[in-house]
Structure 1
Amino acid sequence: MYDHLTLLSGRAHPQLAGEIAEYLGIRLASVELSNFPDGEISLKLNQNVRGRDVFIVQPTSPPVNDNLMELLILMDACRRASAERITAVIPYFGYARQDRKDSGRVPITSKLVANLINEAGADRVLAMDLHAAQIQGFFDTPVDHLYAAPILDRYFRSLNIPDKDLVVVSPDEGSIKRTLQHNNNIGGTLAIVDKRRKNAIETQQANIIGGPIEGKVALLFDDMISTGGSIVGAVNVVKEHGAKEIYVGASHAVFCGPAIKLLSEAPIKEIVVTNSLPIPDQDKLSNLRTISIAPLLGEAIRRIHRNESVSHLFD
């Protein structure tokens, strides 16, 4: 079935790539990766990829610049080694926050990075939960966009929380569409945290729209947890409005800056994330649960390789 499929990984998340290889029943291709004394990346493919359908697993996670550059170099090496098709498998796509010009004299970095990936040799891109869906249109090649929501929803349904005791909460107005989908799949009532920006670096969260919250189990969802400020602010508001228990679900555990401190001090019963990014041991909170996306990515890779529908994964 996989005579012409080659799966390889950079150094960003080899554990996830290994789980995908195990799902597919194949071995990861051998790649030598190191750094020159000045920090430049040195790379050599130890396996013939001529005429192969190559999938490169590399989230652009912190250190973002190093991992992005490594992805570009991996694709260039495969292109120059005459790979038939190259698919960049990017479980977490960095540089996604600046996806439009919201003020003068600013870049659109997500478009720039899409151009770099295309120019380096990507024939397709496989991504998960892009920060903004329109980023798919920044690529000049096909993009298969996966969602972690079904995986997260399956876990929360397994908790068997009675529908009458459950409220699904959007941490801000921008996450309403995502939260509605979770609400439709899990059940319960819907509430929204009213978040208002005080200035360029501060936001204020005080009010709840919808509900009720008091005495209920609250589920809060976001696409990523970066510094933790927004989600912890929403959690505190929900707690102040009388939530009995609070769970948080997110696709990407970026966990930078004060995130670990804020999350450890917040009244959260459980934080449920995927393994789209590696989580260092020092960042593994006692109430953190990680769910693997390897079967989802592995099945998508299998379908792309066999020219089958990827959208059927979500039917």
Structure 2
Amino acid sequence: MIVPGSSSQQLAAALADETDRPLATATYDRFPDDERLAAVPEFDGETATVVATTDSDSAWVELLQLQDAVREAGAEHVTTVIPYMGYARQDQSFTDGQPVSARAMARAISTGTDRVVLVNPHESAVSEFYAVPVEIVDAASVLADPLASDLTEPLFLAPDEGAVEIARTVRDAYGTGETDYFEKHRDRETGAVEVSPSDASVSGRDVVVVDDIVATGSTMSEAVGVLTDRGASRIVAACVHPMLAANAVTKLRDAGVDRIVGTDTIERGCSVASVAPVLADTLVADAATGN
């Protein structure tokens, strides 16, 4: 059975359709003292796939409870799909006395599952923190699906050189276009930092700015502002994980973004591309091999 966390109900339902597996109806309650209780009162099966994005502290608690709930109900094998892994950017201790938060969360999740599936974690090395087998799924290609078919001389831009592979993945899935990445240049006299594409001209072209996650939107809106000033035609902001905290959407629109495209790893209004087919391929393949 597919068991959804409260933040991943649409994705879980899509995954149930893709895999032809039943979708469990989980419940999400809260006690007067603010303690949470996530349960699966009608769970009936030997295997469970818990699908829960961890975009908040309460989502982490829900996930731990759902894993325990299906075990209590008799599940002999539990797979935990974490579409978006919160705390993944805290993958090291930056100063003395700080935790490695990603490791702490991974250890907790490992106690209640047999394996974990992650979608485009910000740092792939976080998979090493889990005490159970981990599979990383690259779902960036689905971002090409909702893009207009008539993009003019499309340019797929990454925010930095480290993310250019994501831009290439989306470009390859789209079928045409160039890729590039932004570079930062610091003026030796003033200290001012200028952000610009490293090589490609953008004037008159449709540009897709691609990243794994957009959190506050500050970095991407700065890049988009440069593209607008240099005469880019249409600008699309595309990301696997559309966190879009606080006023991120307003920042991007104000900078000149025509459209924001995200996946349903975090369910937002812009989540127009589903990672369910990619996840389904992984789960079905694993089932065929007995994993």
SS in 2 for 1:13: helix
Whether 2:50 is the aligned partner of 1:56: answer yes
2:2 match = 7
**Within 2, Cα distance between the matches of 1:86 and 1:107?**
28
1:312 match = none
Q: How does 1:64-103 map to 2 (within 5 A)?
A: 64-103=56-95
Tell which has more relative contact order, 1 or 2 (C-alpha 8 A, sep 6+): 2
**Within 2, Cα distance between the matches of 1:183 and 1:303?**
26
Q: How does 1:118-133 map to 2 (within 5 A)?
A: 118-119=110-111, 121-133=112-124
Whether 2:212 is the aligned partner of 1:223: answer yes
Question: Residues 238-295 of structure 1: CA distance to partner in whole angstroms, max 9, x if unpaired?
Answer: 222221221221101111122122123231122211111122xxxx4xxx46112222
SS in 1 for 2:141: helix
Q: C-alpha displacement at 1:195, in angstroms?
A: 3.5
**Within 2, Cα distance between the matches of 1:35 and 1:292?**
29
**Within 1, Cα distance between the matches of 2:224 and 2:74?**
51
Q: C-alpha displacement at 1:49, in angstroms?
A: 4.4
Whether 2:136 is the aligned partner of 1:148: answer no
**Within 1, Cα distance between the matches of 2:286 and 2:164?**
31
Q: Judge conservation of contact 1:217–1:246 (CA < 8 Å) in 2.
A: yes
SS in 2 for 1:210: coil
CA 1:214/1:297 → structure 2, altered by over 3 Å: closer, same or farther?
A: same
**1:124 counterpart letter in structure 2:** R
Question: Residues 58-106 of structure 1: CA distance to partner in whole angstroms, max 9, x if unpaired?
Answer: 1012xx1101001001112223334211111111110111112344433
Which runs of 5 or more residues in structure 1 are unaligned? 1-5, 310-315
Q: Judge conservation of contact 2:264–2:271 (CA < 8 Å) in 1.
A: no
Out of 98, 106, 117, the residue aligned to residue 106 of structure 1 is: 98
1:305 match = 287
Percent identity over the alignment?
A: 27
**1:246 counterpart letter in structure 2:** I
Q: C-alpha displacement at 1:172, in angstroms?
A: 2.2
**Within 2, Cα distance between the matches of 1:76 and 1:106?**
29
**Within 1, Cα distance between the matches of 2:234 and 2:39?**
51
2:161 match = 173
Q: C-alpha displacement at 1:205, in angstroms?
A: 4.1
**Within 1, Cα distance between the matches of 2:17 and 2:163?**
34
Normalised to the residue count of structure 2, the TM-score between the two structures is: 0.88
Q: Judge conservation of contact 1:225–1:254 (CA < 8 Å) in 2.
A: yes
Which runs of 5 or more residues in structure 2 are unaligned? none
